[in-house]
Structure 1
Amino acid sequence: MRRRECGVLEKKLLRKVQREHSLFKYQMLSGTNREIYENCNKISFYENMNEYFLYKEEISKEIIETGLQAENLLDELYQLYLKYEWLQITS
């Protein structure tokens, strides 16, 4: 079940995440089988983050504002995840 959407900024963030996720899916699916296999961890990360934003009950104002400032939010989060691999990607 999808959570309720709140303010204008939150809706903007959700649209941004959805656009980036859709573009990522298109890019991944246009790759070869080998490229898809080699990127399976990145695919999993993007899927988890997309679900996080879709289903998280409440997203703080700080996260919304920071997310809107990021050029490619999911990619930046993925780069942080790679830098600090010990971080969990669960909500």
Structure 2
Amino acid sequence: MASGWAQDGAVQEQIDATLDSAVARARQDLPKGESLTHCEVCGEPIAERRRLALPGVRLCLACQAEQEKDARFDSGYNRSASKDSQLR
């Protein structure tokens, strides 16, 4: 299949790189360390079940939901390596 400047397998490499960066970003966002007993944002107690289920948790469920709602993710395209993507 002719695809301009892209080498054979370049599309799959770009897909793999995008997936790898998404996994790395998700791992980076995982909490680390010991869980807090009270939310660092609002000060409300964090449920024991939540602390046991998710080691390193720092926010109560309500604050975590609000933080995730406000989070913005990039488009998910990895355009750093392929010549073909630089031409677009």
Same fold (TM over 0.5): no
- Greater RCO, CA 8 A, separation 6+: 1
Q: TM-score with structure 2 length normalisation?
A: 0.30
Q: TM-score with structure 1 length normalisation?
A: 0.30
Q: Which has the larger radius of gyration?
A: 2
Which structure's residues are more often helix, by fraction? 1
